[in-house]
Amino acid sequence: DSRFVGRAVSSTGLALEFTNPGQRANRDLVLAAVRSAPGSLRHASGGLRGDRAFVLEAISHSPCELQHAWEQLREDKEFTISAVRVSADALEFASDRCRRDPEVVLAAVRRDGAALRHACREARESRKVVLTAVRASPSALAH
């Protein structure tokens, strides 16, 4: 019964893995899973993992969900900028190409300077990036 599945997934999001394909395509059920257990997006339908708005909402609950989005989204610079604006820690799960992109890194460190720790070495050595990170969070110098 759908109420039982909803309670199970809300209690432990990883239960989503054992649901049927229709349930893995249910937006509310998948969000309940993400809230309960970060990383649950990996068990969602491909349609949800490729849905820009849905993935951004999932990232707002757990930045690690970016790693479970469709590869096309993870490689999309504009989408990744949107993701790090939702949660700067999503930079950790961005594609290597996006983690090297100065615009993406700047968007992340503007949100939270500590995101500097997830940037590539070149970005961490960029004066502009470091100054932006320190303005947002003085503790960013530790990274």
17-30 tens-digit pLDDT:
889 899 999 999 99
Work out the angle between the directed axes of helices 2-11 and 27-36 (0-180°, nearest 10): 30
> Residue 131: enclosing H or E segment and its boundaries?
helix 127-136
42-91 tens-digit pLDDT:
999 999 999 999 999 999 999 999 999 999 999 999 999 999 999 999 99
* Measured distance CA(27)–CA(117) in Å, rounded: 32
Site of tokens 């490689």: 75
Cβ neighbours, 10 Å, residue 61: 19
* Measured distance CA(99)–CA(120) in Å, rounded: 6
**Structure token pair of residue 20:** 């049927």
* Measured distance CA(113)–CA(138) in Å, rounded: 7
Percentage of the chain surpassing pLDDT 70?
A: 99
